[in-house]
Structure 1
Amino acid sequence: MNPLLEIQGLRTVFRSANGDIPAVDGVDLSVPRGKTLGIVGESGCGKSMLSLSVMRLVPRPGRVAAGRVLLDGQNLLDLSEAGMRQVRGGQVAMIFQEPMTSLNPVHPIGLQIMEAMRAHDTKASNKELRERGLAALDRVRIPAAARRFDEFPHQLSGGMRQRVMIAMALACKPKLLIADEPTTALDVTVQAQILDLLRDLQMETGMSIILITHDLGVVAEMADEVAVMYAGRVAERGTASEIFASPQHPYTLGLLGSVPRLDEERAELLAIEGAVPPPFALPKGCRFEPRCPFAIAACRNAPPPLEEVAPGHYAACIRAPVEHSLDLAA
């Protein structure tokens, strides 16, 4: 079956006095129908900018400089702005990182949900939109939906606001949901509830999900496939089971080594030395080379291509496939 979304050679740049600075640099990804793609990496790796590029919401002076974003075979980058407005919300919806800043503080939440639906159904009456809005709140399991409908964002808890954002995103039954850090700033119990809700709604509607997060525990629980991003590029991608069982890129290995595990006895957690390079000062060769304990001289020559190291498993490392050790200090 053809994937729902295909991203081909996507490159997003920001104009500067010194030329174009890449934030997303030649990304190739696909999202299967009815499945979840998890995108992981540290802050500054390009995860959120990738999602904004797909939605054509890159802030100025940024722009998508190259590539294609195919939704059911249609290139979203070729659409007019009016055509793209019909895609946003109607076919592709997005949950942004912080619901308190995404919701309008001076309007009741119900009015905001109705506004999202009215953008794609101008003929519906206010009564019809209100009924559908209440049904959307019921679907995301908000108690006393009729009362909450007329409340303002500040009257709701963080978990409730996140549920409102999910209700708004799913109000028009999109094919694809992009969830950018949907559990940020939520406590563990509420986080589990939000993830359960997304999973249940996916089973109910058959939508695909792009889940952007830095939390590998969330990825392990939710994702069917995983893409690990570093400095604007995909460092590794494959099925979730392959990525967790046999990581083939040193960066992925470092991320996994930094997660505490109950089934292993370790004196201390792994720390990846250094930081993600800024887009205006990228290394000439492998972008992870300055932080990589496995780097050799050849790693500095040119960026390694993303190559298949096992069936359906790709890594951008000239030393893959190898059996790296989680104990990078050894």
Structure 2
Amino acid sequence: MTAGPILRIEGLRTRFGGFAAVDGVDLDVPRGRTLGIVGESGCGKSVLSLSVMGLVPRPGRIAEGRVLLEGRDLLTLPPAAMRRVRGGEVAMIFQEPMTSLNPVHTVGAQIVEAMRAHEPKGQGSARDLRERAIAALRRVRIPSPERRFEEYPHQLSGGMRQRVMIAMALACAPRLLIADEPTTALDVTVQAQILDLLRELQAETGMSIILITHDLGVVAEMADEVAVMYAGRVVERAPAAALFEDPQHPYTIGLLGSVPRLDEERTRLLAIEGSVPPPFALPPGCRFAPRCPFVAEACRAEVPALRGIGPAHGVACLRAPVELAA
């Protein structure tokens, strides 16, 4: 298949016991482009990514929906087939490389293991796999890759470990890369290097990227399209330029207002009062209503659906766009 998005998520609902951490999410990931997913901690971003990968920890389960990779529903695949997809067609970079890498194996051995898992049986000698792993380390700009191949995770810096994770994720040439907070705990210089590296590798390979983050600066730099999540739902979705120029959901407006900007003079940054409600204690109606400065009585009674208000721009707010733009 060559037309349409590489990944389509339809009505995805992931439950933990009696509540949904991801609640009816619909998203498309364009081919060769980057979709940014943003929101505060606890809004469901990471659970969404784990649902796509089939890695939701117990007692979590995917209760409803479809995850279509080029038309094939990943949620219907048997475990063995899903293992072939995971890493081979869809790869993931996790938040903290020190806890994702095995501390008792060299980084080279871990990259080789990932490649061997997706090699046809009987193909790929140990020497060939080693050379390919070293080439993968070189590709992500790790100096002296032959030496780093033999080192353990604790011998590498945070930035180097993250590059190893990227090398491992790209070793089998996936068509889709999910990067869950790939620059967490990295200083700004290393963060810029990692983002530049992802951008270069995307241009080189044509892969699609889902970039999950709470850092709007990273989203502005990397994403072509953006989905804003709140309390398990997508509350706004738009091309990146449109979202930053004309945010429509009060939550998005609050997020952007909390970020300092060089092109504006502000005596005080905006703050969103309160916190994301836990999924077991959601308010009636709009889930953002208790924190919303624009709340009306109807907001507390009706659950807003995501509706189009412009080209490729959708928002789940009863008051958008007229009242908020006024």
Shorter-normalised TM range: over 0.9
Which amino acid counterpart does residue 299 of structure 1 have in structure 2?
C
Q: Secondary structure at the match of 1:255?
A: helix
Give the match for residue 214 of structure 2.
Answer: 214
- Matches of 2:39 and 2:109 in 1, distance apart? 36
- Matches of 2:62 and 2:163 in 1, distance apart? 31
Q: Which ranges of 4 or more aligned residues in structure 1 deviate by more than 6 Å? A: none
Give the match for residue 255 of structure 1.
Answer: 255
- Matches of 1:128 and 1:10 in 2, distance apart? 40
Equivalent of 2:8, from 6, 28, 31?
Answer: 6
Give the match for residue 196 of structure 1.
Answer: 196
1:160-199 aligned at under 5 Å gives the runs: 160-199=160-199
Which amino acid counterpart does residue 61 of structure 1 have in structure 2?
P
Q: Secondary structure at the match of 1:218?
A: helix
Q: Secondary structure at the match of 2:211?
A: strand
Q: Is the 8 A contact 2:13 2:25 kept in 1?
A: yes
Paired-residue identity, %: 75
Which amino acid counterpart does residue 32 of structure 1 have in structure 2?
P
Q: Deviations over 1:136-161 (max 9, x none)?
A: 00100000000000000000000000
TM-score (norm 1): 0.96
Equivalent of 1:65, from 43, 63, 66?
Answer: 63
Give the match for residue 125 of structure 2.
Answer: 125
Give the match for residue 89 of structure 1.
Answer: 87
Which amino acid counterpart does residue 249 of structure 1 have in structure 2?
H
Which amino acid counterpart does residue 36 of structure 1 have in structure 2?
T
Which amino acid counterpart does residue 74 of structure 2 have in structure 1?
L
Q: Is the 8 A contact 1:248 1:322 kept in 2?
A: no
Give the match for residue 313 of structure 2.
Answer: 313
- The alpha-carbon distance between structure 1 residues 106 and 267, as it changes in their structure 2 partners (threshold 3 A), is same
- Matches of 1:322 and 1:225 in 2, distance apart? 23
Q: Is the 8 A contact 2:248 2:325 kept in 1?
A: no
Q: Deviations over 1:279-305 (max 9, x none)?
A: 000011000000000000000112100
1:237-252 aligned at under 5 Å gives the runs: 237-252=237-252
Give the root-mean-square deviation of aligned CA atoms: 1.0
TM-score (norm 2): 0.98
Which amino acid counterpart does residue 109 of structure 1 have in structure 2?
V
- Matches of 2:291 and 2:166 in 1, distance apart? 37
- Matches of 2:102 and 2:324 in 1, distance apart? 48
Q: Does 1:50 align with 2:48?
A: yes
By how many angstroms is 1:324 displaced? 3.4
Unaligned runs of at least 5 residues, structure 1: none
Q: Give the total of aligned pairs.
A: 322
- Matches of 2:167 and 2:278 in 1, distance apart? 36
Q: Deviations over 1:226-266 (max 9, x none)?
A: 00000000000010001000001000000000000111111
Q: Secondary structure at the match of 1:161?
A: helix
Which amino acid counterpart does residue 88 of structure 1 have in structure 2?
R
Give the match for residue 285 of structure 2.
Answer: 285
Q: Deviations over 1:163-209 (max 9, x none)?
A: 00000000000000000000000000000000000000000000000
- Matches of 1:178 and 1:114 in 2, distance apart? 20
Q: Secondary structure at the match of 2:238?
A: strand
Q: Secondary structure at the match of 2:322?
A: coil
Which amino acid counterpart does residue 206 of structure 2 have in structure 1?
G
Equivalent of 2:112, from 108, 111, 114?
Answer: 114
Give the match for residue 34 of structure 1.
Answer: 32
Q: Is the 8 A contact 1:13 1:23 kept in 2?
A: yes
Q: Secondary structure at the match of 1:6?
A: strand
- Matches of 1:311 and 1:213 in 2, distance apart? 24
- Matches of 1:302 and 1:78 in 2, distance apart? 33
- Matches of 1:311 and 1:174 in 2, distance apart? 30
Q: Does 1:268 align with 2:291?
A: no
